[in-house]
Amino acid sequence: MKKGRIILDRDYQVAKTDPRIFGSFLEHLGRAVYEGIYQPGNKFADENGFRQDTMALIRELNVPVVRYPGGNFVSNYNWEDTVGPRENRPARLDLAWRTMEPNTFGLDEFMDWCRAANTSPMMAINLGTRGAEQARDVIEYCNIEKGSKFSDLRRKYGHEKPHNIRLWCLGNEMDGPWQMGAKTAAEYGRLAEETAKIMRGVDPTIELVACGSCGVGMKTFGTWDATVLDHCYDYVDYLSMHQYFDLTQNADAKDFLANTLSMDAFISSVASICDYVKAVKHSKKTINISFDEWNVWYHSKAADAKREPWCLAPPLLEDIYTFMDALLVGGMLITLLKHADRVKIACLAQLVNVIAPIMTSDTGAWRQTIYWPYLHASLYGRGTVLQTLVDSPKYDSANYTDVPYLDSVAVMDEDRITIFALNRDLEEDMEISCDLRQFAGYHVARHIVMTHDDLEAINTEANPDNVAPADGGNAALQDGKLSAVLGKKSWNVIVLEK
Ligand code: AHR
């Protein structure tokens, strides 16, 4: 059996996690909104049409923030079409996903839904086909109490109190050639700067996210980010990052599970670019990271390429996640936590039906494999992240060298320490140890393990618990020394309580 060691020191702290690191994303895409969270007439829908079965799972996840309404969708979005009496709302062509958008669920419904789901909004504005004027109007509609054109319109439409949306994205993936109204870095940087200025004119208390390069593989990655920040540094708070992993880009499972190394390097690079611009500008302000799209995405791509255009809520991006995908998602969560000093917002893309932890049919809602590590991180990852040194045997794969079989991070809360640990060894268990003598008075409260014989195992409506965690681990704490055996290919959450 391989051996690994986790080294912790209570004084070596990365940062307190911003709870928004456990955020998610709902785009008007496929069956995310329609049928996912909103389905009037469904037996699970309440009087607003909000699906209560989905809502219960979202509440269980304790999702602190939900990005909306896109994604690529936002770059052709007319918010005015989505408010007011439903019978007056026009259906529009969604050019991003080539579907029909009925606008029966709009901005005000989303805000009502957020309140019911116990979450908060992260609203994106359209900087593709539109610009600063629309941004000014929508923030006036949402955040001004009364007495102006758009705040009074909101009140007329039944929302007396302002929505008070604090967090806004200045467009989406504006460097992507697929984006409607894509821009050069200089064009976008200037637009983001002026739009931010105007939005802050309406409400100076908001926080703003500028679009970083939409992928580390983009030719302009790096120069895009630096140029954009060169323009808008003083007016924004976060730079966005997006990353999806696709098994077809990896040689095998070992290589796929090593992708967290690329995510880790990507975050370090973007933080360095933010700090480079800070230095050049002699600024005292630090720009942090909003990793507002991250996940595994590949299962549905071939089917999606064949869909008919202009359908209503077609099943798009419906990845059915495997146990192997869940292991990588666990590793990605560990990576985000390790960077808690710079990553302040992160959104698992997405939340329901579309590359999502939750799936629905007309007859129910169920948890995909990736639901579980996301739940564990959200429940146990709030607190102070400790610098977690890992001493582990390593392997090489097609795209990576020196990949530690063991990946881990620890989070300390008032009366609790949680160790998240991924054993990406597909053949062998690993015996781990951790000297916890500095942390007096704890006991092992739980050792949650998620594993499965079959890397390809999935959950379905008929068999929703095929891949699910259990309190089956053998972690033990004796004389301040923690020991445990982490099964081959397993996701582990060891919870120590006082
Ligand atoms: O999440 C799916 C899509 O991925 C989003 O619309 C877009 O921003 C990204 O390319």
Q: What is the pLDDT of residue 239?
A: 98
* Catalytic choice (35, 101, 140, 173): 173
Measure CA of the first residue to CA of the last residue in the chain; give whole Å.
31
Task: Write down the mean pLDDT value for the chain.
Answer: 98
> Which of 380, 406, 429 is where one domain is finished?
380
Q: Which domain holds residue 399?
A: 2-8+387-497
Pair 26, 175 in one domain: yes
In a domain, residue 449? The reply is: yes
Q: What is the pLDDT of residue 100?
A: 97
The total number of structural domains in the chain stands at 2
CATH number of domain containing 469:
2.60.40.1180
**Active site (annotated) includes residue 194:** no
**Residue of the CA atom closest to atom 4 of ligand 1:** 71
Q: What is the pLDDT of residue 306?
A: 93
Tell me the pLDDT band of 122, cut-offs 50, 70 and 90.
very high
Pair 452, 363 in one domain: no
Q: What is the pLDDT of residue 390?
A: 98
Look up tokens 């995310």; give the residue: 32
Tell me the pLDDT band of 30, cut-offs 50, 70 and 90.
very high
CA of residue 65 to ligand 1 center, whole Å: 17
Which atom of ligand 1 lies at the shortest distance from residue 172's CA? 8
Pair 373, 391 in one domain: no
Query: Which pLDDT tens digit goes with each residue over 397-437?
Result: 999 999 999 999 999 999 999 999 999 999 999 999 999 99
Pair 63, 38 in one domain: yes
Closest CA to 462 of 349, 364, 316, 338: 364
In a domain, residue 218? The reply is: yes
In a domain, residue 265? The reply is: yes
**Active site (annotated) includes residue 133:** no
CA of residue 66 to ligand 1 center, whole Å: 14
**Residue of the CA atom closest to atom 9 of ligand 1:** 71
**Residue of the CA atom closest to atom 5 of ligand 1:** 71
**pLDDT over 70 percentage in the chain:** 100
Tokens of 77: 């979005």
What is the rounded CA–CA span in Å between residue 289 and residue 231? 17
In a domain, residue 391? The reply is: yes
Pair 252, 306 in one domain: yes
Q: What is the pLDDT of residue 17?
A: 98
Q: What is the pLDDT of residue 254?
A: 98
CA of residue 72 to ligand 1 center, whole Å: 6
**pLDDT over 90 percentage in the chain:** 100
The stretch 367-391 carries a mean pLDDT of 98
Q: What is the pLDDT of residue 397?
A: 98
CA of residue 175 to ligand 1 center, whole Å: 13
In a domain, residue 169? The reply is: yes
Pair 173, 121 in one domain: yes
Q: What is the pLDDT of residue 473?
A: 97
CATH number of domain containing 127:
3.20.20.80
Pair 276, 228 in one domain: yes
In a domain, residue 13? The reply is: no
> Which of 356, 380, 404 is where one domain is finished?
380
Pair 185, 81 in one domain: yes
Q: What is the pLDDT of residue 349?
A: 98
Pair 358, 395 in one domain: no
Tell me the pLDDT band of 337, cut-offs 50, 70 and 90.
very high
Ligand 1 lining (C-beta closer than 6 Å): 27, 70-72, 172-173, 293, 349-350
Which atom of ligand 1 lies at the shortest distance from residue 295's CA? 1
Closest CA to 165 of 135, 130, 139: 139
The stretch 350-371 carries a mean pLDDT of 98
Q: What is the pLDDT of residue 373?
A: 98
The stretch 246-259 carries a mean pLDDT of 97
Pair 367, 465 in one domain: no
**Residue of the CA atom closest to atom 1 of ligand 1:** 349
CA of residue 352 to ligand 1 center, whole Å: 14
CB 456 within 8 A of CB 358: no
Query: Which pLDDT tens digit goes with each residue over 426-466?
Result: 999 999 999 999 999 999 999 999 999 999 999 999 999 99
Query: Which pLDDT tens digit goes with each residue over 130-153?
Result: 999 999 999 999 999 999 999 999
> Which of 365, 380, 395 is where one domain is finished?
380
SS3 per residue for the chain: CEEEEEECCCCCEEEECCHHHHEEECCCCCCCCECCCECCCCCCECCCCEEHHHHHHHHHHCCCEEEECCCHHHHHCCHHHHCCCHHHCCCEEECCCCEEECCCCCHHHHHHHHHHHCCEEEEEECCCCCCHHHHHHHHHHHHCCCCCHHHHHHHHCCCCCCCCCCEEEECCCCCCCCCCCCCCHHHHHHHHHHHHHHHHHHCCCCEEEECCCCCCCCCCCCHHHHHHHHHHHHHCCEEEEEEEECHHHCCCHHHHHCCHHHHHHHHHHHHHHHHHHHHHCCCCCCCEEEEEEEEECCCCHHHHCCCCCCEECCCCCCCCCEHHHHHHHHHHHHHHHHCCCCEEEEEEECCECCCCCEEEECCEEEECCCHHHHHHHHHHCCCEEECCEEECCEECCCCCCCEECEEEEEEEECCEEEEEEEECCCCCCEEEEEECCCCCCCEEEEEEEEECCCCCCECCCCCCCCCCCECCCCCEEECCEEEEEECCCEEEEEEEEC
Query: Which pLDDT tens digit goes with each residue over 189-236?
Result: 999 999 999 999 999 999 999 999 999 999 999 999 999 999 999 999
Pair 312, 458 in one domain: no
Q: What angle do CA 74, 45, 468 make, to 5 degrees?
A: 80
Pair 342, 441 in one domain: no
The stretch 147-164 carries a mean pLDDT of 98
Query: Which pLDDT tens digit goes with each residue over 99-113?
Result: 999 999 999 999 999
Tell me the pLDDT band of 394, cut-offs 50, 70 and 90.
very high
Q: What is the pLDDT of residue 489?
A: 98
